[in-house]
Structure 1
Amino acid sequence: MPANGDRTGSGKYRERLDALGIQLPAPPTPLGNYVETSLVGTLLITSGILPFVDGKLMYTGRLGNDLTVEQGQEAARCAALKALAVASHFLGDLDRIQKVVRVGVTLMTSETFTQHAAVADGASDLFAQIFGKQPGHTRLVTGAYSLPVRTPLVLDAIFEVVA
């Protein structure tokens, strides 16, 4: 990992982030006894990431009751940025990422909420802006009755990386 504080490196993804006006946030701190990333072969797997901003959840509550689809999309985008921050911190350079393989998004929703895919697009659209639409990533989006600390969503990602 680089000795300086810039963990995004200086390559094509750093340039893309700059062009999009995106600065990666600080990586999150685990809420329990686990690590934020695990490297298995060429796959970097993140733990569940919550949409924290400045140490507080961006939103709390249930999609469909307390939060709109648009607020859910913002939270998904925030969590995706946190996942990139975790990957960047671990790898030292985002250009080691070959592709986003899979994104998982679990949403805390009302019983009648059905716009799960639209909310998860907040993360998928961000990854497509940064890494390109091809070859794309797989995704699993689910709804849940309860999530930790009343977060509206938890996101995890799997990245393919090069040594």
Structure 2
Amino acid sequence: MKVETKLKEMGIELPEMAAPKGSYIPVSRTGNLLFLSGQLPTQNNALIYEGHVGSDVTLEQAQEAARLCMINALAAIKATIGDLDQIKKIVKVQSFVNSAPGFVSQHVVTNGASDFLGEALGEKGKHARTAVAVPELPLGSPIEIEMIVEVE
């Protein structure tokens, strides 16, 4: 099944890729690999949640934010290569979770991203992963996720 058809069945419409918030490019391509800059959980260029997971943001909200990061990542991929069906494999996902002191479920937060990729891309969405706690993130975001993607 085509990726965009699957996304539509899931009720997802990819947003336009937002302009970078700093001096970088959203996607860097070398050969058949795409290195995606960190994606934030934004809609209409605004964060959907702000603050530390475990105090300001619930686990469930953080999982939703992780999912939104992946929707934004797919939008960045589409803007770069034009066709999501050119994705061969999500190679690696690296998740940074803005964590309150004592919050130790970064891996569970990041499941929101991993589960979405598996649902949207099937076998192509299975990946290696890192999920780490950080004390702060840009704009007060609760999560930032970057990826390495192999394409045709």
Give the structure-1-normalised TM-score: 0.89
Q: Distance in 2 between matches of 1:135 and 1:96?
A: 13
Within the alignment, does 1:89 sit opposite 2:89 as a pair? Answer: no
The corresponding residue for 1:120 is 110
Runs of 4+ with deviation above 6 angstroms? none
**Deviation digits for residues 57-102 of structure 1 (CA, Å, limit 9, x no counterpart):** 0100000111110000011011110000000010000011011111
Q: How does 1:51-66 map to 2 (within 5 A)?
A: 51-66=41-56
The corresponding residue for 1:147 is 137
Whether the 8 Å CA contact 2:87–2:124 is kept in 1: the answer is no
Within the alignment, does 1:19 sit opposite 2:9 as a pair? Answer: yes
Within the alignment, does 1:46 sit opposite 2:36 as a pair? Answer: yes
Paired letter, 1:22: I
> Which one of 84, 93, 103 corresponds to residue 93 of structure 2?
103
Name the SS of the counterpart of 1:48 in structure 2.
Answer: strand
Q: Distance in 1 between matches of 2:137 and 2:11?
A: 31
Q: Distance in 2 between matches of 1:97 and 1:150?
A: 31
Whether the 8 Å CA contact 2:69–2:144 is kept in 1: the answer is yes
Deviation at 1:131, TM superposition (A): 1.0
Change over 3 Å in CA distance of 1:149–1:134 after alignment to 2: closer
Paired letter, 1:78: L
- Count of residue correspondences: 152
Name the SS of the counterpart of 2:39 in structure 1.
Answer: coil
Whether the 8 Å CA contact 2:95–2:131 is kept in 1: the answer is yes
The corresponding residue for 1:70 is 60
Within the alignment, does 1:160 sit opposite 2:150 as a pair? Answer: yes
Change over 3 Å in CA distance of 1:134–1:83 after alignment to 2: closer
Q: Distance in 2 between matches of 1:94 and 1:110?
A: 35
Unaligned stretches of 5+ residues in structure 2:
none
Unaligned stretches of 5+ residues in structure 1:
1-10
Deviation at 1:108, TM superposition (A): 0.6
The corresponding residue for 1:80 is 70
Change over 3 Å in CA distance of 1:64–1:101 after alignment to 2: same
Paired letter, 1:137: H
Give the structure-2-normalised TM-score: 0.95
